[in-house]
Chain A
Amino acid sequence: MADSDQPAAAAAATVSTNLGEALREARVAKDLAIEQIATELRIEARHLAAIEDNRFEQIGPPVFVKGYIRQYGQRLGLDPRALMEVYGRQTNVEDVQVRPTKPIKLRDERQITVWIVALLVFLLIAVGLAVWYLNGGEFKLAPGSARNLPASGDSESAAATEPVPTQPEPAATEIARADTPSDTSSDTRAAAIAIEQPRMMVAATPIAAAVSIAPAVAATGGGVSRGATPISLDLTFDSESWAEITDARGQKLFFELGAAGRHAVMRGEPPVSVTFGNGDAVRLAVDGERFAIPTQGRLGKLVRFTIGSDKE
C-alpha cells in the first residue's frame, strides 16, 4: 500500500478539476491496465474507458455511473466521497425520470361518450319530429280541454265558449271558461277577447254575435247557441274510407269507417274539421253544394281540411 500513497495523493490534487483524468493518472501511477481492473471489478472495460474520458452519459443511468466510479476509485485508493463530489460538480445529469408505459388507445373513450350524447340528441329530435308528424303537423294541446263542454249545456257557457275555437291562444280560452259563472263578467270578458283579437276577421263575427246575444240568452235562459249558423254536410262514399268530422264545439259528428256506397248527412257548427282516410273515395256537399276536396297538403290519400274557417 505504501507505494500507492504517493500517486494517490497526486491524483487527489487533480480530482478537484477532472474526474476522468484523476482516475487515469491514479491508474497509470499504479501501472495497471484498464482491462486488468475491468476483470477484477467485473465492470466492462469500455465503461471504465468512458469514465476516464468523462463520457459519463454513454454508460447509462447515473446510478451505475456513480457505482462504477466509487468502485474504480476505491480500487485505486482514492476517496469515493471526494470523487462523488467532483462528479456532482462535473455533470448535471439528473436521475432517470421514470415514466409509466402508456398503453396505446385505439379508440378514445371520450369520443365514445361524445357519440353517445350525439346519438341521444338525435333520438330526441327524431321522437319530437315523429310526435309532430303524428299530430298532423301541429302541436295541439290536450284535445277537448276547451271543446269538451257539453253541447247542450247552459247557455252562458255556450255563449262564452263559442268564439273560443277560432282563437289560437289557449290562455284566452281558459279565461273565458273561468269567467262563465258570472253573467256580466263573462260578457265583458268575451268582449275583451274580441278586442284583443281584432285581426281575427273570422272570429269577429261570432264574438260580436255572442256579445250581443249573450244577455238575451241569459234572460231567456236556454235554447241552442246562436254563435254560428250550423251547416249541413252530405257525405257519399264511393269506396271504403275512414272519415272523421268534428264541429266547432269539438263534437264528433262522424267518426267511423264509411263503407262503399254509404250516404250520411249531419249538421254542425262551422268551422268543421274534416279528415278522410281516402280523399278520393268521398264526395262531400256542404249545404247542398258540392264541396271540392282540396288536393293540396295531402299525405298520400289522407286529407285534412276545415270547412267554414275562412269561407264564410
Chain B
Amino acid sequence: MLKSFLGYFSNDLSIDLGTANTLIYVRGRGIVLNEPSVVAIREEPGRGGKVLEAVGQEAKNMLGRTPGHITAIRPLKDGVIADFSVTEKMLQYFIKKAHGSRYFRPSPRVLVCVPYGSTQVERRAIRESAEGAGARKVYLVEEPMAAAIGAGMPVHEARGSMVLDIGGGTSEVAVISLNGIVYAASVRIGGDRFDEAITNYVRRNYGILIGEATAERIKHEIGSAYPGQDVREISVKGRNLSEGVPRSFTLNSNEILEALQEPLQGIVGAVKLALEQTPPELGADVAERGIVLTGGGALLTDIDKLLTEETGLPVVIADDPLTCVARGGGRVLELLDEYGPSAFSVE
C-alpha cells in the first residue's frame, strides 16, 4: 500500500547506457527514450569553458561535421565510460528528459546495466556519474542478465539459457540458470567494430575514405552476416584518397559480408568458447531450445543464420532486440522492491 503510494510519486528508471545508444525504460510507461550516446560540446572560453551544444540524435548528426569550436564525442567506449564528466552531463540530460522536471517529485531510483566484464573502477565510474546526474539510488545489473530477462527467457528455471547480446561496443554471451550467470564472456566487438571494418574495407579496396555515419548507413542497409540469395547494392560517397576529391561509388552486400568477416568471427568464437565452457547439463538445455540474440547487432541481416551454421544450434532473435536490456532492467527494478537486491545479483 505504502509502496504503491510512494511509487506513484517517484519514477524508477532502467537505463541501458550503451556505447551506441542509451535507452531509458520507465516503470509503467515502457521505453521513453532511445537516443544515440553522443554529446556535442561547444568551447566557450568567455563562459568558463564547455557548454553542451546538443545531446542524442541531434549531436549524432553533427558527428564528423563539426567546426573547430564544437566537438561531437561519444563518451562511452567499449561499453565503459571514456569521458566521465561528459557522460554525467549526458545522463543528466537524458534522465531529465525521461523523468520530467515536475516539482515535488523525488529524484528517481536508477538501475544501470553494466557490461559483464567491467572492472570495479568502471562500475564505480558509472555509479558515480548516475549519482551525479541526479539519481537517488543507483543499482547496477549485469547486461546479459538484463538482456535475458528482457528477451523473456526463463532465467529463474533450473535450466540453461544462453543469451548473446551484441551491442555497440561489446558483445556478451552468457549462460544463465536459476537467476544467476553460470558462464559469461564479454568481447569488445560490436556495432562499432562492424562500422570500422566497413570503413577499412572501403579504404583498402576502393582507396576511398568514408565517415563513421556513412559506414553505419551501409551496415544498416546492405550489411549481412550470411550469404543470401539476393545481392543488394548501395551508392555511397566518400573522399578518394589518391585524387583528394569526393567520389561516388557502389557497394554490394557480398562485399560488406566479406568486410564483416573478421568481427563476426570474433563473436562466433566467443559463442563457441562459451559453449565449450558451459557445464554439460546446461549445454544440453541450450542445444534443445537454442540461443537467443538481443541487442542492436541482432538486427544485422542473417546473423542468426550465421550462428546457426557455425554452432549447429537453433538461434532465435528476441522481439525488439534493441530494447531488451532496458526492458529487462525495468523488470528487475519491479522485482527489486519485492525481493531485495540480492535476487538478481544487483549491486
Residues of A within 8 A of B (CB): 1, 41-44, 60-64, 66-68, 70-71, 95-96, 98-102
Contact = CB atoms under 8 A, between A and B. Distances in A.
A217 B153 CA distance: 103
Given A41-B308, A42-B308, A64-B290, A98 B155 contact: yes
Interface stretch (B35-43, B94-102, B311-319): B311-319
A41 B314 contact: yes
A67 B316 contact: yes
Contact of B153 (A66, A68, A96, A101): A96
A99 B156 contact: yes
A contact face: mostly helix, strand, loop, or mixed: loop
The 3 tightest CB contacts between A and B, nearest first, are A67-B316, A100-B343, A95-B152
Contacts of A99: 156, 335
B316 A98 contact: no
Given A62-B152, A68-B316, A100-B179, A43 B290 contact: yes
B133 interface: no
Given A42-B308, A98-B335, A68 B152 contact: no
A64 B178 contact: no
A63 B152 contact: yes
A102 B315 CA distance: 31
Given A42-B313, A96-B153, 16 more contacts: A1-B229, A41-B314, A42-B290, A43-B314, A44-B314, A63-B153, A64-B289, A64-B316, A66-B316, A67-B315, A70-B316, A71-B304, A96-B154, A100-B179, A100-B344, A101-B343
B319 A66 contact: yes
Contacts of A71: 304, 314, 316
Interface of B: 149, 151-156, 178-179, 229, 288-290, 292, 304, 308, 312-319, 331, 335, 338-339, 343-344
A95 B327 CA distance: 12
Contact of A98 (B312, B319, B331): B331
Contacts of A95: 152
B314 to A, nearest CB: 5
A67 B319 CA distance: 8
Contacts of A1: 229
Contacts of B290: 42-43, 64, 67
B152 A100 contact: no
20 contacts: A42-B312, A42-B313, A60-B154, A61-B152, A63-B153, A64-B289, A64-B314, A67-B318, A70-B316, A71-B316, A95-B152, A96-B152, A98-B149, A98-B331, A98-B335, A100-B179, A100-B338, A100-B339, A101-B156, A101-B178
A42 B314 contact: yes
A64 to B, nearest CB: 5
Nearest to B290: A64
